[in-house]
Amino acid sequence: MVERLVVIGGDAAGASAASQARQRRGPDDLEIVVLERGRHTSYSACGVPYWVGGLVSGADALVARAPEAHRERGLDVRLGSEAEGIDLDKREVAVRDVHTGAADRIGFDQLVIATGATPVRPPVPGIDAPGVYGVQTLDDGQALIDALDPAYTHAVVIGGGYIGIEMAEAMKLRGLDVTVLDRGAQPMSTLDPDMGVLVHEQMEEMGINVVTHADVRAVETGPDGRVRAVATAERSYPADLVVLGTGVRPATGLARDAGLPLGDSGGIRTDLRMRVWGGDPRHEGVWAAGDCVEVLDLVSGRFRHIPLGTHANKQGRVAGMNIGGDYGTFPGVVGTAVSKVCELEIARTGLRESDADAAGFSYVTAVIESTGRAGYYPGAQRMTVKMIAERVSGRLLGVQIVGRDGAAKRIDVAAVALTARMTVEDVTALDLGYAPPFSPVWDPILVAARKAAQRLAQS
């Protein structure tokens, strides 16, 4: 008998799950229906800032696999199909055509929930006015690009996290004066403030205005109803365009309504194979992946919501492998993230000081400055590395990097070391690649580990 897999959501996680299942089970064995409410599949939302900034030619470039390509591989991709409910007893999904409004129900044997995340809009007056743009989807990006007008001079970005700073770069590339409003003590709150301040200073040097402790009270509109400024508690910032970089929350309405378990972080809780958690027999054959799930933080042992395309792809693949009859797991994350604003590279993995405090760790910190190449090699530029290590055990807990020219991807060394639960002493001995164009003889990560080890000895 042919089983039917229904996948809700055709972006990174959903499409990966569907593809991996199809690679392992043919159409005679498994029918695969992908419900996507939008017009696109398998696209890089992370690429939107670069498209808006003009570095990427068009939306097509961001589409890894278009609906037609999925169909050629035997997936029944239904665009404009919005799932409205999951009935675990009848094993059906209620579907509505977003264009015609027509309702339908589709039965499933296996179900993948890949509903993604929903942008958070600050609840202030004017936030929905024309001229305010999110940048979560290709349609968002297109709307912003269509709106760009040579007469515009000021852009305000609300939120100084990674989307915010990437959009600040994009607006700057478009020739606009850019102001970033962040409510925290420093932008990039995924870093400790002593590292975030480096980002702040260097963004200012690049000519991007960064306002911290910004309490956004309203988006002000002109007589035409369009945005003209953003008001904080202190003052008003002129704005021809407003971009929202205020983060997302997991889109779990369907799952919650169906009685599926959500974790403390608000995301759907799954097991290692991406099966929805819990012993309820009605959960059999129900999987979830991508920005709608929570992930295990391997360093703190806590569950977190970390919406990132790379996790979504991995989780989707794992779900699809298991649905396809193979065995695969997504063991968790260590919290790695890299980003850039113009030439400045920013990276972090593991715990910040506040995370380590919350988890109950006692720790030491070390901050060092080094360069990405041998100091004498042309183009060598400074980077700052902060390392956090547990007292007594010496276990590596987290690393943050701010710098240029090869700074960001150095975080990967720390990510692997965290996964392997190495001590900073272990890290000092790592056999990392050395040649003058690529590293000083002591790689910055090793220098930081040496200093952390010293701090441990003194602690």
Q: For residue 56, which amino acid is it?
A: V
List the one residue from 133, 162, 277, 303 that touches a second copy (CB under 8 A): 162
Establish if 271 lies at the interface with a second copy (CB under 8 A). no
Main-chain phi, psi angles of 296, to 5 degrees: -80, 125
Q: Which amino acid is at 208?
A: I
From 38, 46, 74, 340, active-site residue:
46
Give residue 395's Cα distance to chain centre.
26
Phi, psi of 230, deg, nearest 5: -120, 130
Interface segment toward a second copy; rule CB under 8 A; list 40-48, 67-75, 116-124, 144-152: 40-48
Task: Give the one residue of 39, 206, 253, 442 binding a second copy; rule: CB under 8 A.
Answer: 442
Cα gap 126→411, rounded to integer Å: 39
**Count of residues that interact with a second copy, criterion CB under 8 A:** 66
**What phi and psi, each to the nearest 5 degrees, are found at residue 277?**
-60, 150
**151, 223, 420, 458: residue in contact with a second copy (rule CB under 8 A):** 420
Q: Smallest gap, in angstroms, from Cβ of residue 79 to a second copy?
A: 22
Query: Measured from the CB atom, is 48 or 77 closer to a second copy?
Result: 48
Among 404, 122, 449, 107, CA closest to 285: 107
**Residue 434 found at the interface with a second copy (CB under 8 A):** yes
Nearest to a second copy of 93, 321 (CB atom): 321
Taking the complex as a whole, the smallest distance from the CB of residue 417 to a second copy amounts, in Å, to 6
**One of 2, 26, 27, 55 touching a second copy (CB under 8 A):** 55
Decide whether 57 or 100 has the Cβ nearer to a second copy.
Answer: 57
How near is the Cβ of 217 to a second copy at its closest, in Å? 32
What length is written for the chain? 459
Burial of 457: CB neighbours in 10 Å, binned 0-12, 13-18, 19+: exposed
Only segment of 203-211, 260-268, 360-368, 370-378 that touches a second copy (CB under 8 A): 370-378
Site residues (CB under 8 A) for a second copy, limited to 187-216: none
Query: Out of 44, 118, 209, 221, which residue is the one contacting a second copy (CB under 8 A)?
Result: 44
Q: Which is nearer to a second copy, 252 or 315 (CB)?
A: 315
Pick the binder of a second copy from 417, 424, 448, 456 (CB under 8 A).
Answer: 417
Whether residue 292 lies in the annotated active site? no
Is residue 221 within 8 Å of residue 227, measured between CB atoms? yes
Contact between 144 and a second copy (CB under 8 A)?
Answer: no
Q: Mark 308-347 with x for binding to a second copy (rule: CB under 8 A) and - for no binding.
A: xxxx-xx-----------x--xxx-xxxxxxxx----x-x
Q: Which listed residue (377, 382, 393, 455) binds a second copy by CB under 8 A?
A: 377
Site for a second copy in 387-416 (CB under 8 A): 406, 408-413, 415-416
SS3 letters for 135-160? CCCHHHHHHHHHHCCCCCCEEEEECC
Q: Which of residues 213-232 bind a second copy (CB under 8 A)?
A: none
Q: 56 or 129, CB closer to a second copy?
A: 56
Name the segment binding a second copy (CB under 8 A); options: 181-189, 193-201, 230-238, 374-382: 374-382
Q: Which residues bind a second copy (CB under 8 A)?
A: 12, 44, 46-47, 50, 55-56, 61-62, 64, 162, 308-311, 313-314, 326, 329-331, 333-340, 345, 347, 349, 374, 376-378, 406, 408-413, 415-417, 419-420, 422, 426, 428-439, 441-443, 457
Which residues are tagged catalytic? 46
